[in-house]
Amino acid sequence: MDLLDKHISAGYKLGFTTDVESETLPAGLNIEVIKKISELKKEPPWLLDFRIKSYNKWVSQVEPNWANIEHQKIDYQNISYFSKPKKKIASLDEVDESILKTYERLGIPLEEQKILAGVAVDAVFDSVSVVTTFHEHLKEKGVIFCSISEAAQNYPELLKKYLGSVVPYADNFFATLNSAVFTDGTFVYIPKNTRCPMELSTYFRINAQNTGQFERTLIIADEGSYVSYNEGCSAPVRDENQLHAAVVELIAHKDAHIKYSTIQNWYPGDENGKGGIFNFVTKRGICHENAKISWTQVETGSAITWKYPSCILKGDNSVGEFYSVALTSLMQQADTGTKMIHIGKNTKSTIISKGISGLKGKNSYRGLVQFNSKADNSRNFSQCDSLLIGDECSAHTFPYIDTKNNSSVVEHEATTSKISDEQLFYIRQRGINPEDAVSMIVNGFCKEVLNELPMEFAVEARELLNLSLEGSVG
Amino acid sequence: MDEFKNFDYSDVINKKYKFLLGGDLDVDDYKDFYNINVFNGVPDYNNEYDFLKLEYVDDIPFTSLIPLNDEFYNLRLMQYNFEIILQPDKPIVIKNYYTGSGVAIASDFNIQCKNNIKADLLELNISSADKLIVNNRNFSIEESFLNYSRMDFIDNETSIFNNYNVSVGVGKFESVLTDKQGKVSINFWDINLNKPDSTAEVSGIVELNSADRHGNVCKINHLKNETGSKQEFRHILNGTSYAMYDGDSHIAVGAQDSSSSQISKAIMLSNNSRILNKPRLNIHNSNVKATHGATVGKLNNDDIFYMKQRGLSTKLVEEILLEAFKKDILDRIHNQEIRSFFHDKG
Amino acid sequence: MELLNINNLKVEVEDKKIIDGLNLNIKRGEVHALMGQNGCGKSTLAKTITGHFSVKVLGGEITYRNKDLLQMEPEERANRGIFMSFQSPREIPGVNNLYFLKTIINVKREFEGKDDLSSVEIMKKIKDLTSDLQINNDILKRYVNDGFSGGEKKTNELLQMLLLEPDLIILDEIDSGLDIDALKKVGEGVNKLLDGKRSILIITHYKRVLDYIKPNFVHIMSGGKIVESGGIEIVDRLEESGYGRI
């Protein structure tokens, strides 16, 4: 097993910090801080009310402890809830050179390359959106792609109507916290019968120390529209844990299709479990009649990942999909999965989850598939596979399948396998080096999920998986 | 406990329970069994068979955690040791008769199998009026093979809870349960595979009607290398019944080359019934083979049509398909006699 | 003597009209071949005659031995002598094939008011047939069609047919999945039943099967109705010009 044990500690490549002057609120959370955030962002009064209502609820909630993860208690008073680069930005030209450099180093140039790739980017640096590209171009089609802060100023009706409509403000401890303190994030609106002409993408970066990131994403696909949206995340190497508690809400109206892809590469901490992002995220979408939501995620980062992108299949004939690769190496812990709630007739859902554990990683799939009594002729297919590399990691599967309708069909399959020395030997005997052999096996294992990603992101995801496993074989 | 012994059960056995056993065939027609009658938890057995040693252990207080008619009961548990010391040449049948209504009754047996014993054990629970039955069964199997099966003849006013603690050290434990009816009926399994080369198989058929509630809660701990476990439950649900399968396989760090499988299948005949499946896996070791699967559905329309085209009525087709659904499980009963008993009575 | 009478039949499947005004009469002792391209509605006709759940009859009538067939459950149609050899026979794991054969024989006998045959009598009947047709007895021990090869499935259909001695035999694409030898064997088996009283409806896309089971009448189906009827000469013409001409 020596062979497999070494590979992983190649190091986190995106762990640099950016030296930029920022304005950060002192650590701590109370009504005054919330009022200050709202004031700094010049928000309308209803939004401040939403925050205060959430805060008051949050105070009475307790942190959930059912997940299969262990971590030090989070001190919510030791976190700063707002940080932004000091310079005010009016256009891309004015963005701080060092921030632009940051995104270039991350492989996300905000300008020309992306024009070629045809991807519109919103970049969120700590608590604020620093730049949104292709803004104007999209506007011609009626597509709104801007930061949540801008939406609060420019599209208050839409925001007010949909904010908290899928993830209610009191949904769970972390979502409620987000509802109280969310700083920025992305707002997307696709008008009726419109196919969004390009991939939309948001890149999240936590830079400042002792800062939490609480972004909020809201995507509304009006009747008959289509949008493909991607998010990526990274953070510098820091010894202390940083909290990330985001909320994503998707609304797919009649006949609409939303494709939401995530490549999550927050700092995972070191091999002793020091540092790393605590990633507690609530993602949920609602599908109206004939609508479809596809979640695809590649989770390689964070010390802790706690997220369950879910679909409420409310409308008849609606479709929910969840494709996930979660990789836990070092001392990482992931408790992730999905909820598919079948309410409408002829609703369909597909779950493909691939968990990979290496070194001392702990990987849990947790999922709920529920068929309500009115969900006639609905179907679910779930497949949850685990791959273990090494002897100290663990894999856990907690599928809950609740069926109240006898015309529904559920199929659930799960397997656990490992990369064995024999397998490796066999491939090496054919002349392939061990690292390529591992990546060959891992890529094969994840293929069904990676195929769901838009092309540019699939390449990135493959590289990321290989990087994260570097050092697991010697 | 003498008061139980002096009670005349012949009347009970001959009259009261006959209908429960389904017509003219009585359990006692199966002459090829060694029969042991147990009345309200007290075995009517005086070590007549040289292969089976019975010992009274203790009288321990026990509080039922499950209420009957909203009351929690304090029970005296009379615990007995059943030790299979020699190879029996025929299957052993333990028939538990429960009397009284509106009461809670418990029975507690330690069943031991050591030194190359291969035994077939059938247990029957027989009760008509409403009550709560709690059965504790502690199996200890060492270098032996026990094929255990259970069938209940209870009405849907009775609730029954079976706690099985199983410890296997080099050997094999296999069980087949068929659960029918019962107001609330739950089997709790806690199985430890303590030594290498130990295996456990837990299978069951759950057939529910009206408002029956049923649970199979099955935890299997693989503690040593080369241990194997299988769980498979098949459900046939009708009425407003509710079944739950909560399977939990733990594969410990030292348990190399182990395998585990969990399967739950359900046929829902009614649209008002419900099944909740939780096939959970906890794997702390990379060198294992673990699978689980769950399927839920109704009978296949094309299968039904094919058989109707051959002239069979819908009712008969359903019966045949449900029998076929149960067959794989019943085939796991090794002893031919016990298997035919299940086919006749099930 | 009239056996089956179809008059102005209109049928839809999944909200799509598949059969639209079809007429067909089959007398006792006749062999009819119904030919047409895939999707023309020939298999739907077989499903309509046997009462498949996916079929919705919009209009028209079918009488079988002077009774309204459409009012009957699929099993009653079967018990009254309609047998369909399925294009893809269902696999039914868990149901022993021999048990299944015994059951269908006795159910039909019960319907006809006859006494059950004993296991020994049935076994003799089956063994006679299997040795006559050179069928490997192995298929009796297995589950119904479960894991059977294409040839074994069709052989099993044939065995059921010979045991039930039906009056109207519908062969739905009987040659699919069969090589020439197997098809020849099935053809011989079917011909055994031709005693001048039984009738056959062969549903096929290809001419091949008609070399083994000779039809008296050939019908070409297109767009949900029969567009041409005649003798075997139609088949030869089809061979030359294909369905495109129609």
Residues B213 and B185 placed together within one structural domain of the fold: yes
**Can you give the pLDDT at residue A28?**
84
Of C78, C92, C93, the CB nearest to B308: C78
Higher pLDDT pick, B80 / B30: B80
Whether residues B64 and B42 fall in one domain: yes
Residues B243 and B319 both lie in one domain: no
Using a CB–CB cut-off of 8 Å, the residues of C that contact B are: 50-53, 73-75, 77-79, 83-84, 86, 89-90, 92-95, 100, 103-104, 107-108, 111, 143, 160, 164
In this structure, are B231 and B339 located in the same domain? no
> Same structural domain for residues B337 and B271?
no
Q: Is it the case that residue A88 has pLDDT exceeding 60?
A: no
Number of domains in chain B: 3
Choose the closest CB to C78 out of B303, B311, B321: B311
Any idea which of A8-17, A209-218, C184-193 has the lowest mean pLDDT?
Answer: A8-17
> d(Cα C139, Cα C170) in Å, to the nearest integer?
23
- For residue C88, the chain B residues in CB contact (below 8 A) are none
Say whether B311 and C73 touch across the interface (CB within 8 A).
no
C-alpha to C-alpha distance for C122 and C116, rounded to whole angstroms: 10
B163 part of a folded domain: no
- Could you report the per-residue pLDDT of A436-447, keeping only the tens digit for each? 777 777 877 888
One domain for residues B278 and B330: no
Residues 6+ apart with CB under 8 A from A140: none
Mark out chain A residues that contact chain B at CB-CB < 8 A.
Answer: 373, 386, 388-391, 393-418, 420
Inter-chain CB proximity B292 and A390 less than 8 Å:
no
Q: List pLDDT tens digits, range C95-105.
A: 888 888 888 89
Q: Are residues B9 and B145 in the same domain?
A: yes
Say if residue B15's pLDDT is above 50.
no
- Distance (Å) from the alpha carbon of C161 to chain B's nearest alpha carbon: 9
Q: Which residue in chain B has the smallest CA separation from A374?
A: B271
Candidates C78, C94, C107; nearest CB to B309: C78
Looking at the fold, whether B133 and B213 belong to one and the same domain comes out as: no
Q: Give per-residue burial for A334-365: e unless 16+ CB within 10 Å, then b.
A: bbbbbbbbbbbbbbbbbbbbbbbbbbbbbbbb
Residues C11-34, buried b or exposed e (16+ Cβ, 10 A)? Answer: bbbeeeebbbebebebeeebbbbb
Residue percentage of chain A with pLDDT more than 70: 76
B115 and B104 within one domain: yes
Q: Please indicate whether chains B and C are in contact, defined as at least 3 beta carbon pairs under 8 Å.
A: yes
Give tens-digit pLDDT for A241-297.
Answer: 788 899 999 999 999 999 999 888 888 888 787 888 889 999 999 999 999 999 999
Query: Mind listing the pLDDT tens digit for each residue in C110-126?
Result: 899 999 888 889 999 99
Contact call for B278 and A406, based on CB within 8 A: no
Residue range B98-110: mean pLDDT, rounded: 84
Specify the higher pLDDT residue, A132 or C74: C74
* Residue B68: strand, helix, or coil: strand
C and A touch with 3+ CB pairs <8 Å, answer: no
User: How many residues are listed for chain C in this entry?
Assistant: 246
Q: How many residues does chain B have?
A: 346
Place B18 in a pLDDT band, splitting at 50, 70 and 90: very low
pLDDT at C13: 92
Assembly ipTM:
0.82
Q: State yes or no: pLDDT of C186 exceeds 90.
A: no
Q: Over the stretch B120-158, which tens digit does the pLDDT of each residue have?
A: 999 998 887 778 888 999 999 999 999 999 988 887 788
Tens of pLDDT, residue by residue over C138-162, are: 888 888 888 898 888 998 999 999 9
Flag if B305 and C53 touch (Cβ within 8 Å). yes
- pLDDT, residue B138, reads 93
Of C53, C93, C160, the CB nearest to B324: C93
- Work out the pLDDT band at A3, boundaries 50, 70, 90: very low
Which residues, at least 6 apart from C195, have a Cβ–Cβ distance to it below 8 Å?
A: none
A vs B contact (3+ beta-carbon pairs below 8 A): yes
C235: confidence class by pLDDT, cuts 50, 70, 90: confident
Domain count, chain A: 1
Whether B296 sits inside 8 A of A420 (CB atoms) is no
CA distance C93 to chain B (A): 7
Q: Do C104 and B313 count as a contact with CB atoms less than 8 A apart?
A: no
Q: What is the mean pLDDT of chain A?
A: 81
Out of B301, B313, B321, name the one closest to residue C53 (CB): B301
Q: Which residue of C has its CA nearest to B330?
A: C94
- Does one domain contain both B105 and B213? no
Residue pair A199/A122 in contact (Cβ under 8 Å)? The answer is no
Interface of B with C (CB under 8 A): 300-303, 305-314, 316, 320-321, 323-325, 327-328
Domain span at residue A286 reads 2-469
In a domain, A474, yes or no: no
pLDDT of residue B152: 86
Show residues of chain A in contact with B298, CB under 8 Å: 406-407
B308 touches chain A (CB under 8 A): no
Q: Tell me how far CA of residue B16 lies from CA of A6, B7, B49, B127, B129, in angstroms.
A: 70, 15, 28, 9, 10
The total number of structural domains in chain C stands at 1
When CB atoms are compared, the residue of B303, B308, B323 closest to C75 is: B308
Q: What is the CATH number of the domain that holds C229?
A: 3.40.50.300
Q: Residue B342 sits in which domain range?
A: 299-346
